[in-house]
């Protein structure tokens, strides 16, 4: 089974990586079902490219997210984190596929702000859940078109800082277009 860790270079698994592998082995069908749903199955790099730019050789390791949140959060609480710069990213539940790209603090904050503005577009408190989900899908499609991205690449978790800012501008345009319709 490919756990998403580098296959080219032998990877010494830490205790936490080992327990993640065990957890995946124990998910049974859930792992396969989860993988089938992920359109963009990226794998995590072994050494941090952000640190490499600064001439440092920092390894990316798997840890429980209590190391960054102070307590274990979510049903699948593993994250990839760089030992050097501490940039981190979560994983799709029941898999080792990273949720988007690792980001620095500034980018993570901006993703939250920009996604909040996007959510304001579609999230209607009194709507039924199914309607909200349909609305969200529709607005993601509009946002992808407006940003010239493929639908599967249009996720706030994958945006860099500049893309977050661009997304906010697009959200304003989408809102105005809809007003004029
Ligand atoms: Zn790093």
Domain that residue 41 falls in: 5-90
pLDDT given at position 116:
93
> What is the three-class DSSP state of 61?
strand
Kindly report the pTM of this predicted structure: 0.60
The total number of structural domains that make up the chain: 2
Distance 65 CA to ligand 1 centre (A): 17
Taking the centre of ligand 1 as the mean of its atom positions, its distance from the CA of residue 51, in whole angstroms, is 4
Ligand 1 centre from 26 Cα, in Å? 31
Please tell me the predicted confidence (pLDDT) of residue 118: 93
**Which regions of 27-111 does DSSP assign to beta strands (E)?**
60-64, 78-82, 88-90
Confidence band of 13 (pLDDT split at 50, 70, 90): low
In a domain, 95, yes or no: no
C-alpha 45 to ligand 1 mean position (Å): 11
Whether 96 is covered by a domain: the verdict is no
pLDDT at site 8: 41
Residue from 87, 104, 5 nearest 46 by CA:
5
Highest mean pLDDT among 16-20, 136-140, 143-147, 148-152: 143-147
Do 55 and 26 sit in the same domain of this protein? yes
Note whether 36 and 109 are same-domain residues. Answer: no
- The reported pLDDT for the residue numbered 124 is 63
Residue 6, pLDDT > 60, answer no
Would 53 be classed as within a structural domain?
Answer: yes
Three-state SS at 79: strand
HSE of 135, CA atoms in CB hemisphere, 13 A: 14
Phi, psi (degrees; rounded to nearest 5) at 28: 60, -125
């Amino acid at each position: 089974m490919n756990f998403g860790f580098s296959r080219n270079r032998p990877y010494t698994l830490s205790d936490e990586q080992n327990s993640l592998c065990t957890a995946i082995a124990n998910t049974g069908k859930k792992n396969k079902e989860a993988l089938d749903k992920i359109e963009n199955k990226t794998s995590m790099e072994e050494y941090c490219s952000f640190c490499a730019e600064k001439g440092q050789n920092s390894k990316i390791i798997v840890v429980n997210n209590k190391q960054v949140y102070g307590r274990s959060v979510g049903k699948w609480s593993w994250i990839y984190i760089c030992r050097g710069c501490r940039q981190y990213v979560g994983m799709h539940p029941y898999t080792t596929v990273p949720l988007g790209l690792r980001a620095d603090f500034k980018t993570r904050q901006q993703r939250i702000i920009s996604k909040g503005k996007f959510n304001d577009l579609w999230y209607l408190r009194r709507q039924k859940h199914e309607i909200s989900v349909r609305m969200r899908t529709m607005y993601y499609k509009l946002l992808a078109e407006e940003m010239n991205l493929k639908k599967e690449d249009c996720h706030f978790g994958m945006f860099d800082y500049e893309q977050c800012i661009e997304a906010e501008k697009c959200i304003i345009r989408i809102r105005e277009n809809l007003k004029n319709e």
